Amino acid sequence: MPRAHFSPDSIAPFGCSSHLDQPVISIPSQALIFNKNGLSAAVYEDGVVHIRKLTLLADNGAEVDVRTGLKPDDMIIP
């Protein structure tokens, strides 16, 4: 089988697709709460602060993409 040889300045086509069932919600990393129960975030709703358990899709450094635990209209407390 022939082998491809690339030089440091080579380029190659790359594609990526994703089929998500729901929209991705991105929040600031500083809004995450890390404790023995895992990851969560504080959400303000109807005058009350709720702690919501989260699962992440990706950690992008300054922001994280949340897979489950938040709704698009949630008010996050950073």
Kindly list the domain boundaries of the chain, sorted by start residue.
25-77
pLDDT tens column, 5-45: 666 665 556 555 566 666 789 999 999 999 999 999 999 99
Lowest-pLDDT choice from 3-7, 61-65, 68-72, 73-77? 3-7
Q: What is the pLDDT of residue 12?
A: 58
Mean pLDDT, rounded, for 49-61: 93
CA 10 – CA 23 distance, rounded (Å)? 35
pLDDT for residue 1 is more than 60: no
Burial of 66 (0-12, 13-18, 19+ CB in 10 A): buried
Bridge-based pairing state of the strands 32-35 and 63-68: unpaired
18-56 CB burial, b ≥16 within 10 A, e <16: eeeeeeebebeeebbeeeeeebbbebeeeeeeeebebee
Class of domain 25-77: mainly beta
